[in-house]
Amino acid sequence: MSIELESFRTKVRAFAESEIAPHAAKIDRDDEFPADMWKKIGDAKLMGITIPKAYGGEELSYFHHVIAVEELSRASGSAGFAYAANSNICIDNLYKHANEEQRKKYLPKLISGEHVGALAMSEPDAGSDVIGSMSCFAEKKGNNWVANGTKRWITNGPYANTLIVYMRTAAKETGSKSITAFIIEKGMPGFTQGTKKDKLGMRGAGNCELYFENCEIPDSQVLGEVNQGVKLLMNGLDSERLILCGGPLGIMQAALDVVIPYCQEREQFGQAIGNFQMVQAKIAEMYTRMEASRAMVYRLGANFKDHPNRNRDAAAACLFSSESSTSVSLDAIQLLGGRGYMNEEIPGRLLRDSKIYEIGGGTNEIRKMIIARDLLSRKK
């Protein structure tokens, strides 16, 4: 890793340790992300990492973005997750597909942290088969679109000011050419943000349903081209999977941050438990999973734009790092024994935060399909 990237990591780590880590337990316990934290992240120049400076961004790489998510997640899995949903899944996608007027209108406030962003794709009956099963529908009427339907599991949904929302805009039979992306603003007539859902993990990263009841959306709010939303969706998934890999990396590091000092200090049978080979074996396995995951993610991040197999390898990196994070978190609980099972201790939170990475952004089962189909499609 370059000196510049290491310097960037040091900067983000210092911010995370001073501004986020002290609040991590409270965020999880109260299921509430501090409202002023968005502005602090914006002031730290972390919200628009991949966005040009003309819009308030930093013009850095996706690799930088991975490191930012990793370090924030090391301090708080929930903070890293909410941050990624805003900075990559909303802001980066908006920049890539918005016209100049839309960029100037929305990006500066999102990047400064004054506004919060979200992306809405999933629905009550549309998860892994979101394109085929999407029922949220927008019908063109004059210069507006009239939208009806419900979106579900939307991270940052309860308090988002700007949302990218995918809706069906043509007959289902037209397949991939029946979806359009819209930029939705908080407070639009007919648009309601539901109450926050009580989740297993990533508490504080608010999640809710979005309701559209004859919501009139001006034609100017179309993101990209009409009925070409699937192209936008697929274009953003690879970078989303890469960036989200930073979450498991940070959680695994947080697990080792807890486990190693504990095993050095905790004594049983007259000596530190770190002297016992079974404990050492578990620590070695945790470290190896973390470093193997980090190697996969960093290799992809270092050459993401020109990577010849980034769709397959982004899925593979997400698959391996997410499963590793769950495994490492379970090992952390085991090594702390009875203490590890207490909600007041850190490992339980790490486990609960880890699990979403095996589900969100496409389940691990879908990722396995992507990997296998790519390999099997190659000529002998």
Q: What is the pLDDT of residues 1-45, one digit of tens each?
A: 899 999 999 999 999 999 999 999 999 999 999 999 999 999 999
CATH code of domain 119-226: 2.40.110.10
Helices (H) and strands (E) counted in the chain, each on its own, are 14, 10
Q: Say how far apart CA 85 and CA 305 lie, in whole Å.
A: 20
Q: What is the pLDDT of residue 268?
A: 97
Q: What is the pLDDT of residue 227?
A: 96
Q: What is the pLDDT of residue 147?
A: 98
- The set of long-range contacts for 136-142, using a CB threshold of 8 Å and a minimum separation of 24, is 136/165, 136/166, 136/167, 136/168, 136/212, 137/167, 137/168, 137/169, 138/167, 138/168, 138/169, 138/180, 138/182, 138/217, 139/169, 140/169, 140/219
Q: What is the pLDDT of residue 180?
A: 98
Q: What is the pLDDT of residue 175?
A: 86
Architecture in CATH for domain 3-116: Orthogonal Bundle (1.10)
Q: What is the pLDDT of residue 236?
A: 87
Q: What is the pLDDT of residue 378?
A: 86
User: Tokens 């034609």 map to which residue?
Assistant: 219
- The set of long-range contacts for 273-280, using a CB threshold of 8 Å and a minimum separation of 24, is 273/335, 279/335
Q: Which fold has domain 245-376?
A: Butyryl-CoA Dehydrogenase, subunit A; domain 3 (1.20.140)
Tokens of 199: 């989740």
Q: What are the extents of the domains in the chain? A: 3-116, 119-226, 245-376
Q: Phi/psi of residue 261, each to 5°?
A: -60, -35
- Where in the sequence numbering do the catalytic residues fall? 240
Angle at the Cα of 256 from the Cα atoms of 253 and 259, rounded to 5 degrees: 155
* Tally of CA atoms within 13 A in the half-sphere of 200 that contains its CB: 10
pTM above 0.95, yes or no: yes
Q: Is-contact 243 88, C-beta < 8 A?
A: yes
Q: Say how far apart CA 58 and CA 49 lie, in whole Å.
A: 5
Residue ranges of the chain with pLDDT lower than 50? none
Q: What is the pLDDT of residue 235?
A: 85
